[in-house]
Amino acid sequence: MLRVLGLNGNQIREIPNAISDLTQLQELYLAGNQITEIPNAISALTQLRGLGLSGNKITVIPNAISDLTQLQVLDLTRNQITAIPDAISALTQLQGLDLIRNQITEIPDAISDLTQLQELYLTRNQITEIPDAISDLTQLQELYLAGNKITKIPNTISALTQLLALNLYGNQITEIPNTISAIFRARRPSWYV
């Protein structure tokens, strides 16, 4: 049974529905292609641990993603995604979420269900605020939100006591909240504001 499928850097335009036949697949890499959508057939890949679709032309994360409950790493860097769906909340085993260089405007409250998340990369999007829900990500070690339109660091960020790296470079932030010192007492993170 096929466990890993890597087809990065080709000219693939679509993921065929026949992908659903690969029920034992654990890793799927299709970065650097011409893919425009993630088909609902992806929901059959319930053993998937890693999904890499960076550098494509994907505009929507489908609700079918919620069936990938074993997923640990999701990389959708450099696409044209405008929103993170609430369906993401079903990915409770997710440890790494990479959505750098998309067109995302907000971080949904559903993100709070990703309690195993250690790395969240949302650099170069259109995000205007960090929601309080981020405080539920108590395992988060790296938070990258550089190059967005964020104006304020919420006090709730102090709940991220495992945080080692915080990057808010290139936003519109005017002050650092006093509560951020709680992170520094717990750890010695690197951070860029």
| Residue 75, CB-side half-sphere exposure with 13 Å CA sphere | 15
Can you name the residues that pair with 174 across neighbouring β-strands? none
Q: Domain map of the chain by residue range?
A: 1-104, 109-193
Query: In CATH, which of 3.40.50.460, 3.30.1240.10, 3.30.565.10, 3.80.10.10 is domain 1-104?
Result: 3.80.10.10
**The whole model's pTM is what?**
0.93
So what's the pLDDT on residue 186? 56
Q: Where are the alpha helices (DSSP H) in 18-70?
A: none
Which token pair is 5?
A: 């499928």
Q: Write down the residue that tokens 């936003």 correspond to.
A: 171
Amino acid 179: pLDDT:
78
pLDDT along the chain (193 residues), means of 10: 96 97 98 98 97 98 98 98 98 98 98 98 98 96 98 92 95 88 61 57
CA gap 144, 130 in Å, rounded: 11
Fold match, 1-104 / 109-193: yes
| CATH class belonging to 109-193 | alpha beta
| Distance between CA atoms of residues 186 and 74, nearest Å | 28
